[in-house]
Chain A
Amino acid sequence: MSPWRLEALRLWRTRRLAALAAVYVILGLGIPVLTYELPQLLKHTSGGVRVIAPPPTPVSSLTGFASNAAQLGTLVLVVVAAASLAIDARPALAAFYRSRTRRPSRLLLPRTAVLALAGAACVAAGTGCCWYETDVLIGPLSVAALSGGFGLEILWVCFCVAVVAVWAGLVRSVLAVAGAALATLLVLAFISSIHPVAPWLPTKLAASLASLAGPHPPGAPWRALAITAVATAGLLAAAGFRVQHRAD
């Protein structure tokens, strides 16, 4: 059994893939319905307060999906990735893997790649669901913009996996890895509120799906894209180095 198949089995049999897919698919199916029904729902709320919701648009549906996926989806992705990438969380299991290769950094490649692929597949499934339901209920979306945004979301998924991988080389337990990775992403999100640096940060990619499909698309966030690609490669290299040199 190749390490690649082993990692695919890990995601499948531990039901981590199902958990990740469920989040994106539920959001993809639920948000367009919620967006479509929101004016009706608000109309029926009583209590003497009249709330008027704007009419549903394809972009508002996609924005809702993208922002929820960027938060809840990323949270689940980080936890799933931490569970897979914390190689040294259980010493006896770590011995099983590490004693079978002189280059433990090689353990990391299939794990990160399979996780990134799984994350991309789940984002694709969620985006596909959102696109279909939005198209049926509200109106058409720009497929070209959607594809571009989806590509940037994939890069965000790879970046998140790389952040988890580097923390897995620094701390041991799954909880610590997940916590540290989430804290890192939260710090990035906080920094992105500072206007001058925001276009450069990977967080720019997290919600790019909605902004690219909007009525006034800002164009591809090339700076964030380049920074994220370089940072992802750098983080993966650092993670490999840490895993390789962790024997103490």
Chain B
Amino acid sequence: MSAVRTAGLTKRYGTVAALEGVDLDVPEGALFGLVGPNGSGKTTLLETLAGLRRPSAGTVTLPGPAGVVAYCPDVAEMEPWLTAIEVLDAAVGLLGASRCRGDLQAALKRVGLADVAGRRVGGFSRGMTTRLNIAAALIGDPAVILIDEPAAALDPAGRAEILGLVASLAPATTVVVSSHDLADVEAVCDHVGILTGGRLLYQGPIAQLLANAATPSWQLVVRPPTEPTLTALGGSCWAASVEQTRPGEIEFTSPDPEAVEANLAGLLAGCAARVVSLSPMRPSFEQIFLALTAKAATSQQQDAR
């Protein structure tokens, strides 16, 4: 079941398209990572989902009325003259709801700010402000929470804290988190959407993306000389591409893993290769992302011509 769905979502600023026909489908309870290079439309998409921007075309389907979707901007800002607990109280008040002080304290405790409940937020660090912003989003019990670049400009410890907090929100709450840091998304998200140039190139489970994109490949390390092994692999009918990446290191791909399993040992024995190691290679999320975005860029250039 979908928690957030868009159909043909388009957002234009004059002649520039920030989003172009985005059909997003975020499953309920998912921790959905929205990745893309700078200027790819991530923030525009999140702001449109949050109702802060009006789409030029297309539709957004959300699970319910106001308050079910909470939005945390990348640079959070709250009234500096309010205390942390008053920020949560004000957030609830704006939603037209009410919470007892215990609930507000519990929300602060969840994000690790219970000790500074009575402190004015004007003196908070960026990490504390981000955590308070997430608490202010959670206090309204949203069905969906949209978080824009939560770990941007934080130190490694702060990043780990915030990412841990984001990871803890799902599956009770559907989370859509944008980031240009692929490692962060791969570490915490189960689903991913790849956005570039305002177009959604892929959406679905990360595991499926990795599995589908992977042309089976292997890394073979042999003692010199490597030429006989390279020649033998290049001459085989089951190895698609053979490349020596470094002295003694050979990488090859094959569309037929079973043929590799059946014939590789014999081939290596036949050329008297002294094998140091053999390991299957999995393309990283970053490699897949770069391949997809490069392909999209090439396609757009061709369209422009």
**Known interface pairs A95-B52, A98-B51, A99-B52; 15 further A-B residue pairs with C-beta atoms within 8 A, sorted by A's residue number:** A1-B93, A13-B82, A91-B73, A92-B76, A95-B47, A96-B73, A96-B91, A97-B94, A100-B66, A100-B70, A100-B91, A101-B94, A103-B66, A247-B53, A248-B53
List B contacts of A107 (CB < 8 A). Answer: 94
Task: Indicate if A9 sits at the interface (CB-CB under 8 A).
Answer: yes
In this complex, the interface size class of chain B, counting residues with CB under 8 Å from chain A, is 20 to 34
The smallest C-beta distance from B57 to any residue of chain A, in angstroms, reads 15
Judge whether A95 and B65 touch: CB under 8 Å: no
**Interface of chain B residues 17 through 60 with chain A (CB within 8 A):** 47, 50-54
Task: Indicate if A93 sits at the interface (CB-CB under 8 A).
Answer: yes
For the complex, give the distance between the alpha carbons of A107 and B95 in Å. Answer: 11
Judge whether A102 and B65 touch: CB under 8 Å: yes
Task: Indicate if A3 sits at the interface (CB-CB under 8 A).
Answer: yes
List B contacts of A9 (CB < 8 A). Answer: 81-82, 86
List A contacts of B79 (CB < 8 A). Answer: 10, 93
Judge whether A1 and B77 touch: CB under 8 Å: no
Judge whether B81 and A95 touch: CB under 8 Å: no
Judge whether A96 and B78 touch: CB under 8 Å: yes
Task: Indicate if B291 sits at the interface (CB-CB under 8 A).
Answer: no
For the complex, give the distance between the alpha carbons of A91 and B67 in Å. Answer: 19
**Pairs of residues from A and B, 5 with the lowest C-beta to C-beta distance, nearest first:** A92-B77, A102-B66, A13-B81, A1-B89, A100-B94
The smallest C-beta distance from A150 to any residue of chain B, in angstroms, reads 31
Query: Chain A: interface secondary structure?
Result: helix
Judge whether B93 and A10 touch: CB under 8 Å: no
Task: Indicate if A90 sits at the interface (CB-CB under 8 A).
Answer: yes
Interface string of B117-146 (1 = CB under 8 A from A): 000000000000000010010001000000
The smallest C-beta distance from B176 to any residue of chain A, in angstroms, reads 13
Judge whether A100 and B95 touch: CB under 8 Å: yes
A102/B51 contact (C-beta < 8 A), A3-B94, A6-B93, A9-B82 known: yes
Judge whether A2 and B51 touch: CB under 8 Å: no
The smallest C-beta distance from A175 to any residue of chain B, in angstroms, reads 18
In this complex, the interface size class of chain A, counting residues with CB under 8 Å from chain B, is 20 to 34
By beta carbon, the residue of chain A nearest B71 is A99
The smallest C-beta distance from A120 to any residue of chain B, in angstroms, reads 23
Quick one: which of A6, A93, A101 contacts B77, CB cutoff 8 A? A93
For the complex, give the distance between the alpha carbons of A13 and B78 in Å. Answer: 14
List B contacts of A100 (CB < 8 A). Answer: 66-67, 70, 91, 94-95, 140
Judge whether B73 and A95 touch: CB under 8 Å: yes
List B contacts of A97 (CB < 8 A). Answer: 94
Task: Give 24 A-B contacts (CB < 8 Å), ordered by A residue.
Answer: A1-B86, A1-B92, A10-B79, A10-B81, A13-B82, A92-B73, A92-B77, A95-B47, A95-B50, A95-B52, A95-B73, A96-B76, A96-B91, A96-B133, A98-B51, A100-B66, A100-B140, A101-B66, A102-B51, A103-B66, A107-B94, A247-B52, A247-B54, A248-B54
Task: Indicate if A193 sits at the interface (CB-CB under 8 A).
Answer: no
For the complex, give the distance between the alpha carbons of A99 and B81 in Å. Answer: 20
Task: Indicate if B230 sits at the interface (CB-CB under 8 A).
Answer: no
**Interface of chain A residues 56 through 97 with chain B (CB within 8 A):** 90-93, 95-97
By beta carbon, the residue of chain B nearest A97 is B94
List A contacts of B133 (CB < 8 A). Answer: 96
For the complex, give the distance between the alpha carbons of A248 and B14 in Å. Answer: 11
List A contacts of B50 (CB < 8 A). Answer: 95, 99
For the complex, give the distance between the alpha carbons of A151 and B133 in Å. Answer: 43
Judge whether B90 and A1 touch: CB under 8 Å: yes
Task: Indicate if B290 sits at the interface (CB-CB under 8 A).
Answer: no
For the complex, give the distance between the alpha carbons of A14 and B91 in Å. Answer: 19
Judge whether B81 and A14 touch: CB under 8 Å: yes
Interface string of A6-24 (1 = CB under 8 A from B): 1001100110000000000
Task: Indicate if B214 sits at the interface (CB-CB under 8 A).
Answer: no
Judge whether A99 and B70 touch: CB under 8 Å: yes
List B contacts of A101 (CB < 8 A). Answer: 66, 94-95
The smallest C-beta distance from B63 to any residue of chain A, in angstroms, reads 14
For the complex, give the distance between the alpha carbons of A126 and B67 in Å. Answer: 43
List B contacts of A91 (CB < 8 A). Answer: 73
**Interface of chain A residues 94 through 135 with chain B (CB within 8 A):** 95-103, 107
